[in-house]
Structure 1
Amino acid sequence: MRSVLEGQLADWVSRRFPDGTSPQWWLSIFESLEVSATPFRDVTSDRRTEDLNLAAEAILLAVKLGGVRAAIGAYWMLRIAALTLRFDPPVSGIPQILTPDGSAEWALHQIPLTRERAIAESETRRVEHLNASEDFYAPVGGEVTLMGEVAFSGLQDVELILSALPWVSSHIKDKEIESEVRSWLEIQGDL
């Protein structure tokens, strides 16, 4: 992937995988790029910048192509943005989306529910779990058969994004973004 020119990643992926890619493939790419850019690796600053830029481009592309859910993309964008905060002096030449403000703003746009809806769905889930019979849960030591595709709820996506926002929240400079992040994090305990 490193040999692909910037902005050409979508063409490269579509040629290499005409039938699409799996979420696992994308996650392995994100993880590989994260490891290659870590401060503990002895690489040139140019190589680190290239890998961080490629990570941002890959995450955006994966979400755009439906290779991963938007919440997973937001989680990884926040994770890579948090990685950039570990460098002193800061890494130069990274895109705005890898700054605390940029990653948080993008992640906020990936949240599929309003705060009110998330709280309501959380309460509904809590009641369902409290009132569930034994057949609601998988049998202990028994075989589990999944019927159809596993679906993730909007609430699970909200929880995933909220789990990663604290990694950059104390570094956000834009007051509107900081306020919105704080409002979401304040309800995290209610979910």
Structure 2
Amino acid sequence: MSEESDLREMRAVPEGQLVDWMSRRFPEGASPQWWLSVFEPLEFSVNPFRDVTPGRRAEDLNLAAEAILLAVEIGGVGAATGAYWMLRIAALALRFKPPLSGIPQILTPDGSAEWALQQLPLTRERAIAESEIRRTAYLNADEGFYAPVHGEVNLADKVAFPGLQDVELILSALPWVFPHVEDEGVGNEIRSWLEIGGSL
């Protein structure tokens, strides 16, 4: 079954039952690449320049939010990737004037930003500390640290600073919704993170 036919089936699944469909379709779990192959066409389908009915657009926005939440919950994609995509879809929903009706709370600026902040794996203090460690490692690296100009490149099994990279991914997307966040507490938290973002 292709990703396109999977998406057609997912659109027919009643809201809240996507987890059951996933367990039947992928008993062993779906790959991150498969999830991205679902997120991307859903993003395309809700683009303001697409000629689709408001009802279909709202349905696809709801499906996108449900799919992202489920993918993170069952480990199909990492939490940071899910937060990035939720912010991306929420930013797209902001482009509609007048605002779309019938979209879930998590796709509002406040909802997507608050959920994204919850996915940050490090505190600000820890992110700064890891950034300093990474910077020192980079400055003190010998030639073995860099990929050879000619020859075979062996990719490391693990990322050296996964938590820090997750923080950077989420921080790269928060500015898309930040200007529209109304909750003062959420806005202050985003501002505090963005203030250190440039120095990581």
TM-score range relative to shorter protein: over 0.9
Alpha-carbon distance in 1 for matches of 2:107, 2:186: 15
The corresponding residue for 1:133 is 142
- Structure 1 runs (4+) deviating above 6 angstroms are none
The corresponding residue for 2:54 is 45
Instruction: Give ranges in structure 2 of 5+ residues lacking alignment.
Output: 1-9
Q: CA shift at 1:151, angstroms?
A: 6.7
Instruction: Give ranges in structure 1 of 5+ residues lacking alignment.
Output: none
The corresponding residue for 1:122 is 131
Counting only pairs closer than 5 Å after superposition, residues 18-33 of structure 1 correspond to structure 2 as 18-33=27-42
The corresponding residue for 2:165 is 156
Q: CA shift at 1:150, angstroms?
A: 5.2
Are 2:110 and 2:183, in contact at CA under 8 Å, matched by a contact in 1? yes
Q: CA shift at 1:28, angstroms?
A: 1.2
Q: Which region of structure 1 is more displaced relative to structure 2, 134-143 or 29-38?
A: 134-143
Is 1:11 the counterpart of 2:20 in the alignment?
A: yes
2:179 to 155, 159, 170: 170
Amino acid at match of 2:25: R
Alpha-carbon distance in 1 for matches of 2:152, 2:197: 34
Aligned CA distance change for structure 1 residues 43 and 151 (closer, same or farther; 3 Å): farther
Amino acid at match of 1:69: G
The corresponding residue for 2:3 is none
Secondary structure of the 1:165 match is helix
Q: CA shift at 1:56, angstroms?
A: 0.2
The corresponding residue for 1:36 is 45
Q: What does the per-residue CA deviation read over 1:143-169, in whole Å, with 9 as the maximum and x for residues that have no partner? A: 112354557610000000000000000
Q: CA shift at 1:128, angstroms?
A: 0.2
1:184 to 167, 184, 193: 193
Alpha-carbon distance in 2 for matches of 1:162, 1:140: 32
The corresponding residue for 2:105 is 96
Q: What does the per-residue CA deviation read over 1:56-92, in whole Å, with 9 as the maximum and x for residues that have no partner? A: 0000000001000000000000000000000011110
Q: CA shift at 1:141, angstroms?
A: 2.9
Alpha-carbon distance in 1 for matches of 2:109, 2:192: 16
Alpha-carbon distance in 2 for matches of 1:144, 1:71: 27
Counting only pairs closer than 5 Å after superposition, residues 58-73 of structure 1 correspond to structure 2 as 58-73=67-82
Amino acid at match of 1:154: G
Identity in percent:
75
CA RMSD of aligned residues (A): 1.1
Alpha-carbon distance in 1 for matches of 2:155, 2:129: 27
Alpha-carbon distance in 1 for matches of 2:144, 2:161: 20
Alpha-carbon distance in 1 for matches of 2:161, 2:53: 40
What TM-score, normalized by structure 2, do the two folds share? Answer: 0.93
Alpha-carbon distance in 2 for matches of 1:175, 1:74: 20
